[in-house]
Chains A and B, each alone.
Chain A
Amino acid sequence: MSSALLYALAGVSLFTLGLYALIVHAHLLRKILAINVMGSGVFLVLVALGGRTTGAEPDPVPHAMVITGIVVAISATALALALVLRVQAATGRAELPEEPLE
Chain B
Amino acid sequence: MIVLQWVFDIMMLFALLWLAWRALSSPDLFTAIVLFIAFGLVMSLAWVRLDAPDVALAEAAIGAGLTGALLLSALARLNDLADITHDRHKSAAGE
Contacts and interface: CB of A to CB of B under 8 A. Distances in A.
B partners with A: yes
Contacts of B20: 14, 17-18, 37, 40
A8 to B, nearest CB: 10
Contacts of B5: 3
Interface residues of B, number: 42
Q: Chain A contact residues: over half helix, strand or loop, or mixed? A: helix
Given A6-B13, A18-B24, A33-B36, A48 B67 contact: no
Q: Chain B contact residues: over half helix, strand or loop, or mixed? A: helix
Given A6-B13, A29-B78, A51 B29 contact: no
Interface in B27-74: 29, 32-33, 36, 39, 43, 46-47, 49-52, 54-55, 58-59, 62-63, 66-67, 70-71, 74
B48 to A, nearest CB: 11
